[in-house]
Every structure is written in structure tokens, then in C-alpha cells.
Amino acid sequence: MEKYVPLVTKHCVRKILPDEIVYIMKKSRKIMIVTDTEIYEYYGKLEQVSQVLDRRFFACLRGCIINLDKVLRMEEQYIYMTNGEPILMGRDNFIRAKQYYTAYLKKLL
């Protein structure tokens, strides 16, 4: 059975496949799911979303989960995603994310 993130809002009901997700960000009580084409916001908990995600997703910050398949590059404390958005990180979190990403890439080869 295929895993997906269920999205239920006042205006939209759909399932978001993990392949579509660039990153997920928690903003107060809302979850923001950024895909290559759209941004979805709804009330929910990040823990519920993270249950359907696999090892290509990494919690790089508290409240931010990135799809490692959608990372273009990492440099100077920024993670550049395929949708063109940079994510700024603190030094320690950046080092940890870079190490995880390097290990992830080596496993793919």
C-alpha cells in the first residue's frame, strides 16, 4: 500500500505523495507542505505527518523536515532546494544535516 500525507482543509481534500514533497515546515499550529508546484497549509501536528515519511526525509531543524532527494546543494549554512528556496540553518544543525546528506548520497551510489 502506498503511503501518503492526507490533506484535509476547508477548500481541499487530497493525498500528497512523499515524492512530491520538497519540505515540511511547522508554523505555530499550522503545517506547511511545500511541493514543487504548490504550498499547502493546514492545522495539524508534525508528528502525524512524519509517521508516513521514509528515510529520505530528515528533520534538519526543529519544525522543518526536508526531502533529501530534493536538495540541490548545501553550502555556507544554506540548504538549496529544487524549488529554488534556500533554508538557512545554524552552524551545528548545518553540520549535522550535511553529514546525514553525505551518508544518504553514499548509500544511493
pLDDT tens readout for residues 43-59? 988 888 888 899 999 99
What is the CB neighbour count within 10 angstroms for residue 14?
11
Please give the pLDDT value at position 2.
Answer: 76
Please give the domain boundaries of the chain with CATH numbers for all domains. 5-108 (2.40.50.1020)
Backbone angles phi, psi at 93, to 5 degrees: -65, -35
CA–CA distances in Å: residue 52 to residues 47, 48, 93? 9, 8, 23
* CA nearest neighbour of 86 among 57, 66, 102, 58: 66
Please give the Cα distance from 77 to 86 (Å, whole number).
Answer: 10
Q: Tell me, what's the pLDDT at 109?
A: 55
Would the pLDDT of 1 be above 70? no
pLDDT tier at 19, thresholds 50, 70, 90: very high
The number of C-alpha atoms within 13 Å of 63 and in the hemisphere containing its C-beta is 9
Q: What is the mean pLDDT of the chain?
A: 91
The arithmetic mean of pLDDT across residues 54-71, rounded, is 93
